[in-house]
Chain A
């Protein structure tokens, strides 16, 4: 494998991704020739790209990467921000699962099948789930079971069932288990009554039991035993099982946040005006709204056609943001789950398969609204370190300082000793001036809060 191949692209011998002069290419290896030709000639590629289900590409005249021979070199449409399944809310994972099954249905209709069903192969592009791996298809092996069934269950069905039927926070198991949640673990953690749901009984509990029983036994089922109708039934059963899984936000910490806030209407409107003006002044192409809650302020950038990643620690807030974005067919807001006190690390093989959150930046602009007091007081992060982090995250920063006298900060201090003598506006400005040029500072009307626009030094 050549050295410029992407760290996440090594498992499938069909081909790999590599970069050259800043452009991303996909090499199709000679071994995949038959399947690639079929994908293109059968009309499946045109059908899927036309429906917005598969990433579009063009064949380019580029030499292969390294010494390896290539059948084709493709230049796929670029995905501006890569997100991972452990950063998705419940409905994002569910929509990604249903998209994978819909693609499989269409592939079966044209004599092909998905040979993998990795959640990492799905990205949200223009607000909708998109399969980004062109080499995921193979000519249908008639009479054989679905080779990607296990992967679909571990990457999609098991985490969805755990989130819906046990606790939504169990989605984070995907971060620990890079090839999906083991089915024996899911089976053990799910409530007993999930055995009464036919789909979960079959695809999780019975599946885990057969895996346990036949682990490492080299059993090759004979051809012709699994009819086309059975395969169709399997996909329909998985789809029905996924559709039945539902989760409604409520009861998690900040889902009701905007109703509890201490802002007046005038203050909120003024803050929105200031954010919109700062965004227009900076003309960013990629915005990270950190601690975005349900994405109210990030939407000001997204509404201007700017890709805005709106991240929050609260699964309910991210769920609400996503459902709202989906309803509005918002192409530019990407809500994601992220705990800023412990952001996604670089992980997988050699720490190189999945990028850390910061490695996917820097953003052109970072929004840090009503955030600093949470990090500085609830998580004890010194102001200098906050400035260092934001300087690594983005080139321009829109940051709000909320003083101790504000009732929201008082709430954070209510249950603990005030060990933050430096948490003052002057100290905040001094700490951030080490890293940023402060270009604007505006007091939010009818509040004690100040909104800054800063440029990284």
Chain B
């Protein structure tokens, strides 16, 4: 799935109806003092698969790199400040 900025209105609508329906089955969550924004929540749900896939791909890529360069150090450390 590729989510882009200009062509996903109908997908959003369908997902929203589905999620809205499912929401009725669950009790409301504990209140957060910050309004997360409905649109901001929906967008994250819609992009979830893509974002998760990104993590999986990066993990595999690191494994492949380690296989070729087993002595390489610091692969799992977060990069330093720009």
Contacts and interface: CB of A to CB of B under 8 A. Distances in A.
Given A115-B33, A145-B45, A213-B12, A207 B40 contact: yes
A314 interface: no
B20 A219 contact: yes
A222 B40 contact: no
Interface string A6-19: 00000111100000
A209 B5 contact: yes
B64 interface: no
B33 A13 contact: yes
Nearest to B40: A150
Interface string B17-40: 001101101101110111111111
Contact of B42 (A151, A221, A231): A221
A151 B26 CA distance: 26
Contacts of A78: none
Interface string A69-103: 00000000000000000000001001100100010
Nearest to A128: B81
B6 A150 contact: no
Contacts of B30: 141
B39 A207 contact: yes
Contact of A145 (B22, B26, B41, B50): B41
A222 B42 CA distance: 11
Given A195-B5, A213-B39, A236-B58, A226 B45 contact: yes
A340 interface: no
A377 B38 CA distance: 52
Contacts of B56: 229
B41 to A, nearest CB: 5
Interface string A224-238: 011101111110110
Q: Is the interface of A mostly helix, strand, loop or mixed?
A: helix
B51 A230 contact: yes
B39 A214 contact: yes
B52 to A, nearest CB: 4
Contacts, number: 154
A210 B20 CA distance: 15
Q: Is the interface of B mostly helix, strand, loop or mixed?
A: helix
Contacts of B36: 145, 147-150
B29 A149 contact: no
Nearest to A219: B38
B70 interface: no
B9 A213 contact: yes
A230 B52 contact: yes
A144 B28 CA distance: 12
B26 A210 contact: no
Contact of A214 (B3, B8, B38): B38
Interface in A133-192: 138, 141, 144-151, 153, 187
A422 B5 CA distance: 59
Given A205-B5, A221-B19, A151 B34 contact: yes
A153 B48 CA distance: 17
B4 interface: yes
A55 to B, nearest CB: 19
B14 interface: no
Interface in A89-125: 91, 94-95, 98, 102, 105, 115-116
B60 interface: no
Contact of B39 (A95, A202, A210): A210
A195 B9 CA distance: 16
B40 to A, nearest CB: 4
Contacts of B79: 243
B52 A233 contact: yes
B34 A145 contact: no
B73 to A, nearest CB: 20
24 contacts: A13-B33, A115-B34, A144-B29, A145-B41, A149-B44, A150-B35, A150-B37, A151-B34, A202-B5, A206-B5, A207-B43, A211-B38, A216-B38, A217-B38, A219-B23, A220-B26, A221-B45, A222-B25, A227-B52, A232-B51, A233-B52, A234-B47, A234-B51, A236-B58
Interface of A: 11-14, 91, 94-95, 98, 102, 105, 115-116, 138, 141, 144-151, 153, 187, 195, 201-202, 204-207, 209-223, 225-227, 229-234, 236-237, 243
Given A150-B36, A206-B5, A219-B41, 17 more contacts: A95-B81, A116-B34, A145-B44, A147-B36, A195-B4, A201-B5, A206-B43, A210-B42, A211-B39, A214-B16, A217-B38, A221-B45, A222-B19, A233-B50, A233-B55, A236-B55, A243-B79
